[in-house]
Chains A and B, each alone.
Chain A
Amino acid sequence: NAGVTQTPKFQVLKTGQSMTLQCAQDMNHEYMSWYRQDPGMGLRLIHYSVGAGITDQGEVPNGYNVSRSTTEDFPLRLLSAAPSQTSVYFCASKPRREASYEQYFGPGTRLTVT
């Protein structure tokens, strides 16, 4: 049981490049989400999914796309990287969408955009 895995661990992009951050979970969780962590701002929700085929925007969705074709995978796509997207990205999952469930976090991807 690997939990939530993320790849890559580190990435450097040039402005305008695109890339996909991978996230997978093996716990059969319905709910998955992406956060970004910036100094002094805590974690902010980018996108989330309550099940395969269902995604929605969080509080900072601009510049990012997601899809959820399977229960296990929830990739995050940066369409045209900008320096403002330099951040640490965390994927998380929980069994169901109810508020009382804890979220399980991946180890993070540190992205630098130059």
Chain B
Amino acid sequence: GNSVTQMEGPVTLSEEAFLTINCTYTATGYPSLFWYVQYPGEGLQLLLKATKADDKGSNKGFEATYRKETTSFHLEKGSVQVSDSAVYFCALSVLGGATNKLIFGTGTLLAVQP
């Protein structure tokens, strides 16, 4: 079946540190991959996405590359800010059958300290 595994948190970093949050997936067919971010008390919002192998999604200094050979979509940022503190969800969507649902990882809490 389809599933997403992401590194457990919390991840605690100092401001300006480098961030990596690992995400690997299992999917039948050709998934689209997403990173969503949830700030405290809010709903989820799309951070970036990639729809085919070797695509790189990027937004607000965050990047992730769709690696089919390693079934991975790791999130990276070169220099985090306090305002990046949030929960990050890796997700995939595969068109097929009647479901076509978004499958989420369990989320990784990032806390950035000044």
Contacts and interface: CB of A to CB of B under 8 A. Distances in A.
Interface stretch (A35-43, A63-71, A78-86): A35-43
Nearest to B51: A100
A103 B42 CA distance: 15
Interface size class of A (residues with CB under 8 A): 20 to 34
A33 interface: yes
Contacts of A105: 36, 43-45
A42 B89 contact: yes
| B43, B45, B49, B99: residue with the most chain A Cβ atoms closer than 10 Å | B43
Given A42-B89, A42-B107, A45-B101, A102 B42 contact: no
Interface residues of B, number: 25
A73 to B, nearest CB: 18
A37 B87 CA distance: 12
Interface in B66-114: 89, 93-95, 98-102, 104-107
A106 B8 CA distance: 25
Contact of B43 (A33, A41, A100, A107): A107
A39 B102 CA distance: 18
A107 B31 CA distance: 26
A108 B43 contact: yes
A58 interface: yes
A56 interface: yes
Contact of B95 (A43, A48, A59, A98): A98
B112 to A, nearest CB: 21
A90 B46 contact: no
A29 interface: no
A112 B94 CA distance: 32
A3 B104 CA distance: 22
Given A97-B95, A99-B100, 4 more contacts: A41-B106, A42-B106, A43-B89, A59-B101
9 contacts: A42-B106, A45-B102, A48-B99, A56-B99, A99-B51, A99-B100, A105-B43, A106-B43, A107-B43
Interface of B: 4, 31-32, 34, 36, 42-46, 49, 51, 89, 93-95, 98-102, 104-107
